[in-house]
Homo-oligomer: A and B are copies of this chain.
Amino acid sequence: MTASSATRPARERLLTAAGELFYESGIAATGVDAVLARAGVSPATMYAHFAGKDGLVAAYLEERHTTWRQTWDAVLAEHRDPVDRLLSVFDAVARFRQQQGTRRGCAFLAAATELPSGHPGQRWLAADSRLLTGRLHDLAVAAGLPDPEAVASTLLLCYDGALSGYARAATTPGLPVDDPIGRARRLAADWLATRTG
């Protein structure tokens, strides 16, 4: 709190608090007050750094997008086999979730349902979709697979399905959730096997 305020700038503390609260409780349901209280920052300071709540939301999504891309980059660098590189999206999101300590679903899909059209944060939802489809497409091409568009679409479908499983689990007590990401990876791998073989 006071110690962290001496070490970390208000802007960073705001982004951290926003990331936690927006992700856990939802964007629309989280008031600016709650973010300010958690960050230990006054309203005026926030408005000196961000263009209102919308700007704070956009900055939160941008930071999350950047971190996610870097995590995927790191995992990608560990693999040389073309199919492993294609499937790395699942390993990367598993690592990302472990790093962030997240337990709910995809922050970008969640934001897609909450943000009104024209919101500055929309840009990062589109960036997430394009990063996923673009990379998966390119990796499919590199693997020499036919119809790389279909490969990207199918793997994205598995990816979204896995993350949606966590969203369901968070709101359905008792629902058995056994490693959706691992399940999605195996499903995608089996499907790829029928195309490479």
Contact = CB atoms under 8 A, between A and B. Distances in A.
Contact of A29 (B110, B114, B154, B173): B114
Contacts of A19: none
Interface in A110-136: 110, 112-117, 122, 125-126, 129-130, 133
B168 A25 contact: no
A161 B191 CA distance: 15
A29 B150 CA distance: 35
A130 B130 CA distance: 33
A33 to B, nearest CB: 15
Interface residues of A, number: 51
A81 interface: no
Contact of A165 (B110, B130, B156, B190): B156
A158 interface: yes
Interface in A72-109: 104-106, 109
A124 to B, nearest CB: 10
Given A160-B164, A175-B126, A114 B112 contact: no
- Tally of this chain's copies: 2
Interface in A151-165: 153-154, 156-165
B183 A112 contact: no
Given A109-B164, A113-B113, A157 B171 contact: no
Contacts of A173: 126
A28 interface: yes
A196 interface: no
Nearest to A178: B153
Interface of A: 25-26, 28-29, 104-106, 109-110, 112-117, 122, 125-126, 129-130, 133, 149-150, 153-154, 156-165, 167-168, 170-173, 175-176, 178, 180, 183-184, 187, 190-191, 194
